[in-house]
Chains A and B, each alone.
Chain A
Amino acid sequence: MMGAPQAKTDDRLTGLAVTATGWAAAPRGDALSRLQSMGLPQRRDEYWKWTRPDTLISADVPPAEAFDAQETPIFGGVDRLKIVFVDGVFSAEESDDLALEGVMIERLAEANSDIHWAQGLYGVLEERGQTPVKRPLAALNTAMATDGLLIHVTGKTGKPISLIYRHVSDTSDAILHHVVKLDEGAELTLLENGPAAARFNKVLEVEVADKASFHHVRAQGRDHARRAATHIFARLGSESAFKSFTLTVNGVLTRNEAVIELTGDDSIAHIAGAAMGDGANGAFHHDDTVFVTHDAERCESRQVYKKVLRNGAEGIFQGKILVKEGAQKTDGYQISQSLLLDEDNQFLAKPELEIYADDVVCSHGSTTGAIDETALYYLRSRGVPKKEATDLLVLSFMAEAVDEIEDDVLREDIVSRLTGWLDRR
């Protein structure tokens, strides 16, 4: 439900104005009105009870140092088209030419014509995603994004598009908005990695036409003090596929929302997340808020979320499967689990099913627990040292989420990041 304007907390909104020209001016203006009428997120909002929004919306950005990574950069062994943003600013020198077979790529900041294919999508999926749960930070993003990419996939791309978000300045505040449109039968793998900024607000809108397939693997940066609020809005046509995996290692505050609508029959949507955090490095608060809507027949959706927490880390999962009337033969699955490596962590989960069709199979589960002592003893009794045995059990806990990544090389890269975290602690 849209709330009434919240005069006091939303002083910040009155100062905002859309500056874009051309086709984007209208959707940005609309988004700003939307935002002004719903107001910024507040603790009393149903889906903000467990995550404090204040530092995500404050005028000043709490500073965050860039993480000094000694490891080789992720996805380094993948042949890909690299597009680099530094503190949210496109870097032409570090990026490849924005040219790739089967796809047209443009920068949002440079797409100023009066008519554009992205017109029917930019802010449109975001707006659809505002009902029934409001997502003010996404509307803020649509209105104020400084840049982003407009990616139109017309065929099978030869290689993945890889977005690299470097973070340099301790107080950078980045807002990026990407739109991806896959035509019928088109295929794209999109990679994202890096912290992007001290504070990062990102929206990714993905339109997947009939028979198209979209694969997405992202590794959010490891900077301890960084903050991020990200949204994925996806709409799927018939016989299409959407697969998205996110790795989050470190980060004082991360809120990842995903809103996925299955609108064509026989499509599949898998969304997975693996998060590892250590509260001793300042703090770790990670929130996955997911909303999957089945509005067609015989579709399959999976939500697989795993969190490994230690030293006072906090993990949140709010996930919903909504099966609309007529969405028969829906196969919906949702699992959220946390592994607590010591005692004072917090995992809060709100799994929801809302079903208006009678011939469906939907299941959800949520668990939280410590390392299985019996399994640990069993491994040690075979000669595996405690640390190695523990790590093996942590990786096995993560496996169901990580295994959602189909590509072996990408999956190995993600696993190496998990191992890196385990080795650093």
Chain B
Amino acid sequence: MLEIKNLHVELEEEGKKILKGVDLTVEDGKVHAIMGPNGSGKSTLSYVLSGRQGYEVTDGTAELDGADLLDMDPEERAAAGLFLAFQYPVEIPGVGNMTFLRTAVNAQRKARGEEEISAADFLKLVREKAKNLKIDADMLKRPVNVGFSGGEKKRNEILQMAMLEPKMCILDETDSGLDVDAMRLVADGVNALRDAGRGFLVITHYQRLLDHIKPDVVHIMADGRIIKTGGPELALEVEKNGYADILEGA
């Protein structure tokens, strides 16, 4: 369970306030969606939860299964089960995608006191998961995200998620820049991971992703706060009327 209470965040350098009291709880087994205009702080929330530098938490808490996330290094948060699929996946020239995946999987296993996965088992697992996402052998060999199309990068994020089997998955605009087929692949990848022990926080602009990944709860974020929470119908309302009515009503 992810529990965020009264989270206030500023940019470290400029002191600009971005998050102004976010309250949000994502229970195990549930899919929560966050929608909201550009610049409302959705990515900031995901970065702060995953431990990116440059943000200062001035108030509030964020816990994963009762453990204080904000006190952990990024790698500790990952080992605790948090995963962020990036809005802009990072290119790492010189590091092979396969090496990257194996290093990540083994690092998390080690952190949990488990044995490293054998090379053969790893290969088998990657091939199987990659196939479902239509990620070919070439993409696995190439340096991480280098020369990948927008859609390939997003699918690569989902592959990492599938390999790492996190407890809490945050997807930041994973649908943006995807054509219909690619979006279906991504949605299928996410749905395959849905189970009673795993929570999802899906950040998106569009209803269409939520047609494929059915949310239990929809939140609207504006100016650093959750201003409205409802069921799947809230996403449909946004799709139809935009944010204007909701923003006025808030």
Measured CB to CB, the residues of A under 8 A from B are: 372-375, 377-386, 388-389, 392-393, 395-400
> Which residue of chain A lies nearest to B93 when distances are taken between CB atoms in the complex?
A396
Residues of B within 8 A of A381 (CB): 50-52, 74-75, 77-78, 83-84
Chain B residues near A393 (CB, 8 Å)? 92, 94-95
CA distance A361 to B33 in the complex (A): 52
Q: Min CB distance, B188 to chain A, in Å?
A: 22
Contacts of B143 in A (CB 8 A): 396
Let me know if B95 and A386 touch, CB within 8 A.
no
Nearest-neighbour CB distance to chain B for A216, whole angstroms, equals: 23
Query: What's the minimum C-beta distance from B86 to chain A, rounded to whole angstroms?
Result: 7
The reply on B100 being an interface residue by CB < 8 A is yes
Within 8 Å of chain A (Cβ to Cβ): is B73?
yes
- Give the shortest distance, in Å, between B143 (CB) and chain A (any CB): 8
Known: A373-B53, A385-B107, A388-B107. A380 touches B78 (CB 8 A): yes
Q: How far is the CA of A393 from the CA of B93 in the complex (A)?
A: 9
Contact of B78 with A374 in the complex, beta carbons under 8 Å: no
CB B138 to nearest CB in A, in angstroms, measures 18
Question: Is the pair A378, B107 in contact by a Cβ cutoff of 8 Å?
Answer: no
Contact B75 A396 (CB under 8 A): no
A419 to B: closest C-beta gap in Å:
13
16 A–B contacts, CB within 8 A, in A order: A377-B90, A378-B86, A378-B92, A380-B73, A380-B75, A381-B74, A381-B75, A381-B78, A382-B78, A383-B78, A383-B107, A384-B107, A385-B111, A388-B103, A396-B93, A396-B94
Q: Is the CB of B78 within 8 A of A396?
A: no
Q: Which of A377, A383, A393, A399 counts the most chain B CB atoms within 10 A? A: A383
Chain A contact residues, majority secondary structure: helix
- In angstroms, Cα B89 to Cα A389, docked, is 16
Q: Is the CB of A383 within 8 A of B75?
A: yes
> CA A378 – CA B78 in complex, angstroms?
11
- Cα A398 to Cα B160 in complex, Å, equals 25
> Any chain A CB within 8 A of the CB of B79?
yes
Chain A residues contacting B73 (CB-CB under 8 Å) are: 380, 386
Chain B residues engaging chain A, CB cutoff 8 angstroms: 50-53, 73-75, 77-79, 83-84, 86, 89-95, 99-100, 103-104, 107-108, 111, 143, 160, 164
Structural contact, A380 and B51, CB atoms closer than 8 A: yes
Q: What's the count of A-B pairs with C-beta under 8 Å?
A: 78
Tell me whether B111 and A378 are in contact (CB under 8 A).
no
Q: Which residue in B74, B94, B104, B107 is a CB contact (below 8 Å) of A397? A: B94
- Shortest Cβ distance from residue A379 to the other chain B in the assembled complex, whole angstroms: 7
Please indicate the chain B residues that have their CB under 8 angstroms from the CB of A378 in the complex: 86, 89-90, 92
Which chain A positions have C-beta within 8 A of B90?
Answer: 374-375, 377-378
**Nearest CB of A to B213, in Å:** 22
Q: Which of B75, B84, B104, B111 has the most CB of A within 10 A?
A: B75
Other-chain residue from A375, A377, A385, A397 in contact with B52 (beta carbon distance below 8 A)? A377
Between B95, B108, B143, B160, the greatest number of chain A beta carbons within 10 A of the residue's beta carbon is seen for B95
Chain A residue contacts of B111, Cβ below 8 A: 383, 385
| CB pair A383 B79 closer than 8 Å | yes
Measured between alpha carbons, how far is A51 from B241 in the docked complex, in Å?
69
Minimum distance in angstroms from A105 CB to a CB of chain B: 38
* Contacting residues, chain B, for A384 (C-beta < 8 A): 75, 103-104, 107
Please indicate the chain B residues that have their CB under 8 angstroms from the CB of A397 in the complex.
94
8 closest A-B pairs by CB? A396-B94, A383-B78, A380-B74, A382-B104, A378-B90, A383-B108, A399-B94, A396-B95
- How far is the CB of A178 from the nearest CB of chain B, in Å? 33
Query: Please, how many angstroms separate the alpha-carbon atoms of A209 and B23 in the complex?
Result: 75
Closest chain-A Cβ to B64's Cβ sits at a distance in Å of 14
Bound: A76/B150 CA distance, A: 45
Cβ distance A386 to chain B, nearest Cβ, rounded Å: 7
